[in-house]
Structure 1
Amino acid sequence: MQLPKAVTIKEVGPRDGLQNEKIVIPVEDKIAWINKLSHTGLPYIEVTSFVNPKWIPALADCYEVATSIERKEGVTYAALVPNQRGLEKALEANIDEISVFMSASESHNKQNINKTITETYPILEQVVREALAEGKSVRGYVSTVFGCPYEGHIEIDQVLKVSEKLFEMGISELSLGDTIGVANPRQVQNVLEQFLRVFPKERLALHFHDTRGLALANIYASLQMGITTFDSSLGGLGGCPYAPGASGNVATDDVNYMLKQMGIETNIDDEKLLEAAQYIEKPLNKKLMSHSLLVHSSNC
């Protein structure tokens, strides 16, 4: 079995990790945290989301965060953008990469975006077109690929249909989301078998939640299929406000540890990751529950 020699980890903690927290983190702490993340070796940080504050109050400071962080050369700073208005603010803040998102599930899409899938397409098409015209790269997210909290199983043909539409718009990479953490390794490989018949593996990423403790196993299954890009959130922060019961994203520190132990290069510093995780625990007023942090705390 041939595993990749190197993997890209994309940090989504400042956006996906904080969007579902009940405590609103002071803007200065967010900025300081992202600055710490920038010095860990992470090549990509999703710093915020330019959404209407009434939908996600925790990210109401998106513009201030995006314009106040210290940009480190070699790091891509991305943001989630739902519509034209959000794009205007993201471009004004000089975000490096624009992320657009939708669901493969009609019910989840309505809950998350307040629109049907068909109604969502033209909005995203405009965002992608204008972002590309401004010289920005665009990444796409598809949620509920492996299961929906409202509909259960989602047919792979429906997931492929949505994914093809996003690639037709001009996205450079697609992140496939296990939004409620229901995927298992065999299912992951079955889905990827279908996807890899249509799309090159270099343009796919996986975004796992650890609701049932299977996220690392699912990453390993993806590695076996040749996938080399994964989203994660430091300390396991995060969830989905429109997916009841969904726990945090797979922890960046745990993913990094597993990959390094397997001899797969990430270029990320373990100690600096743990320092950044411990920093954000104080404003969150809670301990992060990643395995790496728990082990580190017990050894201190």
Structure 2
Amino acid sequence: MKIIECPRDAMQGLHQFIPTDKKASYINQLLKVGFDTIDFGSFVSPKAIPQLRDTSEVLDQLDLSETKTKLLAIVANLRGAEDAAKFDQIDYLGFPLSISEQFQKRNTNKSIAEALNTLSDIQDVCIRTNKTLVTYISMGFGNPYGEPFNEEIVAEFVDKQKSINASIISLSDTIGVAKPDAIERVFKHSIAAHPEIEFGAHFHSVPDKTNEKLKAALDAGCARFDSAIKGFGGCPMADDDLTGNIATEKLLAYLTEENRNSGLDMEAFQKAMIMSLDVFPVN
């Protein structure tokens, strides 16, 4: 079981700037918990995501001396990938590839065809700099634009990753519309068709739908989950009324119910939960 904590996703849509020192202190606490990976920042235009304009400064303040947790940064173009790849501390570069043409343009200012070319270029950067590419298939369970969606379309997008030897694909419920039956079908098909690829789930959800989404993905064989403490975040490019991330504490509680061991340091996790109240605004 791999749990990817996503403070980057939790922070990126906030209008009030979180001071760099506060970001770094929070992520340093998360590094003590034992997550497989922390999605900690992004190398994108500060005009697009002003909250994360200090990602490189945050990285300079992180203490990686006593952790096995890996770091992931989101990039939206080749320049961002090259900038992120300069940092030895970063293990993964994540790129959002959307099933929706409208969302791809809104999120990365590219068509899907252009995004696929960029993805290939980013994979070349990863290979050259000893990083691993994580492809996020955004709008992977539907979109708000009325554009076509079904399991076959998802399969086509997964198949496109074979040509660049993608090893990790995270299927993303960007606007929180995924139904359990669709989740189970998509993951079962993808995992069976591509055993060489590690599939993850990046779900956005209202709280009362969390467990049914987790169950569907787990039952289908998914063993990699993105989450954010207290369910903060969402995608600022998707909608003004954000549907938050799966809350990490809800994920851990569900895994406990299912007798699955997260392997996390729960004392360190509780300290991170307390710190989150100082990092994020509470309504």
Question: Do both proteins adopt the same fold according to a TM-score greater than 0.5, normalized to the shorter chain?
Answer: yes
Moved more, 257-266 or 175-184: 257-266
Contact 1:181/1:246, CA 8 A, preserved across alignment: no
Matched, 1:255 2:251: yes
- Deviation per residue, 1:239-296 (Å, 9 max, x gap): 1112113311001111012102321011113332232122122232326xxxxxxxxx
Pairwise CA RMSD of aligned residues?
A: 1.7
| Equivalent residue in structure 2 for 1:193, among 188, 192, 207 | 188
Pairwise mapping of residues 1-300 of structure 1 onto structure 2 (< 5 A)? 7-12=1-6, 14-71=7-64, 72-94=66-88, 95-151=90-146, 154-200=149-195, 203-211=198-206, 213-244=208-239, 245-286=241-282
* SS of aligned partner of 1:87: helix
Tell me the CA shift for residue 196 of structure 1. Answer: 2.9
Contact 1:201/1:226, CA 8 A, preserved across alignment: no
Moved more, 178-187 or 213-222: 213-222
Distance in 2 (alpha carbons) for counterparts of 1:196 and 1:35: 33
- Deviation per residue, 1:2-50 (Å, 9 max, x gap): xxxxx211111x2111111122110001100000001112121011010
Distance in 2 (alpha carbons) for counterparts of 1:227 and 1:172: 14
* SS of aligned partner of 2:28: helix
Distance in 2 (alpha carbons) for counterparts of 1:194 and 1:114: 30
Contact 1:256/1:270, CA 8 A, preserved across alignment: no
Aligned length: 280
Distance in 2 (alpha carbons) for counterparts of 1:236 and 1:38: 18
Distance in 2 (alpha carbons) for counterparts of 1:37 and 1:47: 10
Change (3 A) 1:15 1:220: same
Contact 2:97/2:138, CA 8 A, preserved across alignment: yes
Contact 2:229/2:276, CA 8 A, preserved across alignment: no
In structure 2, list runs of 5 or more residues that go unmatched: none
Normalising by structure 1, what TM-score? 0.88
Letter in 2 for 1:168: S
Distance in 1 (alpha carbons) for counterparts of 2:244 and 2:148: 21
Tell me the CA shift for residue 85 of structure 1. Answer: 1.3
The alignment-based identity, stated in percent, is 31
Tell me the CA shift for residue 201 of structure 1. Answer: 7.8
Letter in 2 for 1:105: S
Distance in 1 (alpha carbons) for counterparts of 2:165 and 2:178: 28
In structure 1, list runs of 5 or more residues that go unmatched: 1-6, 288-300
- Report runs of 4+ in structure 1 exceeding 2 Å deviation: 155-158, 269-272
* SS of aligned partner of 1:115: coil
Letter in 1 for 2:157: V
* SS of aligned partner of 2:256: helix
- Deviation per residue, 1:65-100 (Å, 9 max, x gap): 122211143111111111221122212222111112
* SS of aligned partner of 2:114: helix
Normalising by structure 2, what TM-score? 0.93
* SS of aligned partner of 1:214: helix
* SS of aligned partner of 1:151: coil
Contact 2:33/2:265, CA 8 A, preserved across alignment: yes
